[in-house]
Amino acid sequence: MSLKEKVAYIKGFIKGGGVTEKNFEEIVNLIVDALDDVASVLEELEKNQLDLEEYVESIDDDLANLEKEFWGEEGEAVEEEFEEIECSNCGEMFFVPIEDLYSEEEIRCPVCGKAVVVGEVEEGGDGKQAS
């Protein structure tokens, strides 16, 4: 029985027969049972609230780190140039930082996950590989 149903039952019980010496103990037991449910619900809500607070703090920290990374220490946007390239495996277009095109590390396609063969980047930056 839900908490609302228990309270409605208690109300109906009291309205139906009133409080008498005979039913007083039963009414008190019903009320204590309902209060026990209220305490359990409040305890669960408090736990959920604390979990949410921790989660929001974590998101806030992550956002602060992203802002610091994007805006830098001085509050100016950190500019990073990107080049659009085509995956040599699946043909999808995606952006990579220009310095990654000239590094020794392989570039992986975010769509198919395979290593991309990168040719020379053409002047004009249209992102297509030179033949």
- The predicted-structure confidence for 77-96, as pLDDT tens digits, reads as follows 656 688 899 999 999 999 99
Q: Are residues 28 and 58 in the same domain?
A: yes
Q: Are residues 49 and 86 in the same domain?
A: no
Question: In total, how many domains does the chain have?
Answer: 2
Dihedral angle sign, alpha carbons of residues 26, 32, 36, 39: positive
Q: Are residues 64 and 19 in the same domain?
A: yes
Structural domain harbouring 111: 80-131
Q: Are residues 64 and 86 in the same domain?
A: no
- The predicted-structure confidence for 28-75, as pLDDT tens digits, reads as follows 999 999 999 999 999 999 999 999 999 999 999 999 999 888 777 666
45, 71, 97: which is the final residue of a domain?
71
Q: For tokens 């990073």, what's the residue?
A: 80
